[in-house]
Each structure stands twice: as structure tokens, then as C-alpha cells.
Structure 1
């Protein structure tokens, strides 16, 4: 008798069941909580769309369904970058379904989106933000917020990294900070300036922080959350007369200043924790115009030709 090869039925797995399998694998692969939350928050749009058009089984999903989902998002007049965020999560989910043989292979592409201008804080903004409050008169929250803004400008660290820095991670004597919570999950050793060392030393001593304490805590001594920091920074900025409230803009500001002050792209890659130079070079290209400013004074040929001594012997 010939052997019968069992195959998975086309409608064997529900979308809900596959989603649970997908997130289970992500946890087994030890992906970060942020990545797992990214899928949770952004896949919901595709899952709701499938529910809305009556699709509950994975095998019913075809390329045209994905294309219609993109058109559905476009009709909602969402930004291209937002649509691509939803699509990155959707693509990862559907490629997982393909690998598990619940779905036939087809390619999923992101839509064309122009890169948004990364607007850093202006020089005037920075002056307002780092104006030191009267430490003897201000409360803990104002002092902490000032230190936090100084730290963000000085390091360019990501939000999640900043929230997880502990007092013991900071080597005040040697001017170094150990970043244990990074995007690539590898410990990162970054230098910090003498200025921020003084700021942190005063802050740590004033409130008698212990080594195991998180550097940025709330009024009852607990680690600050993403949500609390995302509310704190905008309030702080507006009170200082700064309209821009983006936390990530501190990172852009750090990158711009580093590049335009003559910093090396390879070192910047390490400081920002980029896995490759591709993202780093985006900053270099973005601020190329700023690099041009004042270049004449550093140009060998410009200085050579403008020096009167070099012009001697020229024929009229």
C-alpha cells in the first residue's frame, strides 16, 4: 500500500492561533520586550483589517489582500512612514506563516516614502534647555529633568537605554558609562565629558543615590517608565519656551553636533550603537550642508591662494 503523505490543510491555522505562535517564537528567540511590543502594537491594524473583511484563517490570505490593506491605510491619509511601520510588522508575521507552510510564498514590499527631515534642537533651544535651575530652591523633579536633558544631549542615548542606566553603570572617576540596555543587546562603553560628570556627581550626591539605584527615578524612588518620560520631557521643554518636544531629537542633535564639530563617522557609529554604518551615514549626508559652512578657512588651497606671500612672483 502506497504511503500517504499528510499535508497541512489550507485552513488549518486560524489567524489568532498563528499570531500566538509568532509571538511565542519571538520570545523563545529572546527578542527584546520592545520588539515584542512593537509587533503587538503594530500588527493589530492588519489583524483588525482581516477581521473586518471576514478572514479568520491564515490560508485565505493572498498578496492582493495585503495590497488592499495598504490601500485601506492610504485612504486613512496616514503618513508613508506610519504605513511602513505597520507593514514591517505585517511582513514579519506573514513571512513567519510562509516559513511554517501555512501560506504560499509571495513578496511583500514597503511603499516608497521620502525620508523625513531629522530636525535637531537649535542652538537657542539648547541654551534654554540647559540653563541650570537654582538647585537649593527647585524640587527634585525639576533638578532630575534638567540632569536628564543634559544627559540626553551629551550622550545621544536611546530612550530605553537612558531609562535603564543605574548609578553603578557610571564611572565618574574615568568619565565612562556602561550601557547595558541597548538595541542590539550588547553592552556598550561610552565616554562622557567632564561637564556631565560634574552634573551627575552633584545630582547623585544631593539625593544620596545608591549604586543599585536607577539614575532617573520618580518621586517615590521607582524607575521612570517610557510613558512618564514621554510626558516629562515635553512639559520641561515647554516651560523653558522650547516648542520642540521630541525625545529622539536629542539623539539627532548629538549626531549633528558630533559631525559638524569634526567627529569621525566610525566613532559616531559606536557612540550611537548602530549595527552598521548605513544609518550613521544618513546623519553625515543629512548634515553635509552644515559641514560646508566655514570650510573655506580650513581649505589648504583657499588659504594658499589668499596669502599675500604666496602671490609673490605672479605675473601681472
Structure 2
């Protein structure tokens, strides 16, 4: 405050950031249940199964998944182009063989829609909104007895498993589309704590 003139000069305050605690990822048992192929002919369930498998095995964001088209996927090179991203920058992500197999299964049984989206509304054959796919996967998970229903948690689970299996943080940063290493380091710290937890049980 300027005491003589009585007005406040513009200023800004940088608030300290609180430590972000990652939610507990899906367990391997839960993933096994969710990734088991449907035993019926319900097209919506097959779509949800394929979406859960794709997101949990590639780590793509929900917004990128709902905007994915079949023409964005290169089945020979095991990659797909993400055109709709949080940073508004297009980039390629690798697709594991298991995810490609599931996508091919879904493509074979799903109708060819005019817009060509991979995960579309089975009622209107139009693009799904992020909220619509979120609700669909929520009901899908609950119907299989899995209480965790977060789509974004599938992305967290992918990142955690990637590092636990020895993946490099630098590559994970590119796969997840993080502009800086700070976001990726959250997963590194989480996995580091997990590794230290039972180290005494495996050493002299």
C-alpha cells in the first residue's frame, strides 16, 4: 500500500504447491477381470472392453481416446497418432501387441461408421463425449465386480506398471505427452516408494 496516495500497487503471490498423492492403481487382479473378453454379443460391452484395454495399455488420456479414428492407427508399425491432446500438439504413441489384437477384434465386430471413430456410440454411431465414455466404463467396471471406475486411473496404472517393469522415465514422458519431466517424476517417486517397501525381505 502506498501510504501517501492510498492505492495498492499490483502484485502477485505464488502459492506453494501441495504434494500430489497418486491414487492406488488398478491391481493386476482387477485388470485381469476388466480385460477378459465379453461372453455375450452386447456391442457396447465389447466397445467398453476394447476402450479399457487400449487406455490401460497405452496410457492415453480419455480426450485422446474418444477422438481416435481408425485412420490414426498404423497396425503394421504398432503406433497411433493422437490428434487431440492436452497440449494441442499431435504425437505418436506405441501400441502393445495385446492392445492391437483387441483393437482388431473390436474392429471386426463393430460396424463401419461414417465418421470412423474407434470408440463410438453404439446407438447413434457418432463420436462419444468424454463424459459418455466415462459413464459407460464406470458401469462396465461395476458390472464386472470392480469397484474402481476411474478412466484416468487406467492411465496412472499404465505409468506405474511401465516403471515397475523397468521402463525408462524419459520414454514414459514422451508416451504420456508430458511437456516437462515434473509430471512424470510423480510416478517415479511413487514406484520408488513401492520398491523400497519390502527390500529387507529380499536381501541379507
**TM-score under structure 2 length normalisation:** 0.87
Gaps of at least 5 residues in structure 1 are 1-61, 64-103, 307-316
Contact kept? 1:237, 1:245, Cα under 8 Å:
yes
Name the counterpart of 1:129: 34
Contact persistence 2:81–2:92 (CA under 8 A): yes
Shift in Å, 1:113: 3.0
Q: Identify if the C-alpha distance between structure 1 residues 261 and 213 changes in structure 2 by more than 3 Å, giving closer, same or farther.
A: same
The superposition leaves residues 120-152 of structure 1 with CA deviations (integer Å, 9 ceiling, x where unpaired) of 111111111111112xx3211010000000011
- Structure number, greater radius of gyration: 1
Answer whether contact 1:120 1:252 (CA < 8 A) is retained.
Answer: yes
Q: 1:218 aligns with which of 116, 121, 146?
A: 121
C-alpha distance in structure 2 between counterparts of 1:112 and 1:259, whole Å: 25
Q: Per-residue deviation at 1:295?
A: 7.0
User: Deviations 1:242-288 (Å, cap 9, x if unpaired)?
Assistant: 11111110111000000000000100000000001111111101110
Q: Aligned with 2:64: secondary structure?
A: helix
Q: 1:111 to 1:294 in 2, by over 3 A?
A: closer
TM-score, reference length from structure 1:
0.58
- Contact 1:167 1:210 (C-alpha < 8 Å) held by counterparts: no
1:85-122 residue CA offsets vs partner (Å, 9 max, x unmatched): xxxxxxxxxxxxxxxxxxx5121333653423332111
After TM superposition, give the deviation of residue 210 of structure 1 in Å. Answer: 5.7
5+ residue gaps, structure 2: 1-6
Shift of 1:208: 4.0
Query: 1:183 maps to which residue?
Result: 86
Q: Give a deviation string over 1:142-199, Cα, whole Å, max 9, x none.
A: 1000000001111111111111100100111221111111111111111111111111
In the TM superposition, residue 292 of structure 1 has moved relative to its aligned partner by: 4.0
Conserved? CA contact 1:128–1:240, under 8 Å: yes
* 1:192 equivalenced with 2:95 (yes/no): yes
Q: Which residue of 1 aligns with 2:41?
A: 138
Task: Provide the aligned length of Structure 1 versus Structure 2.
Answer: 197
Structure 1 pair 111–267 and aligned structure 2 pair: CA distance change class (3 A): closer
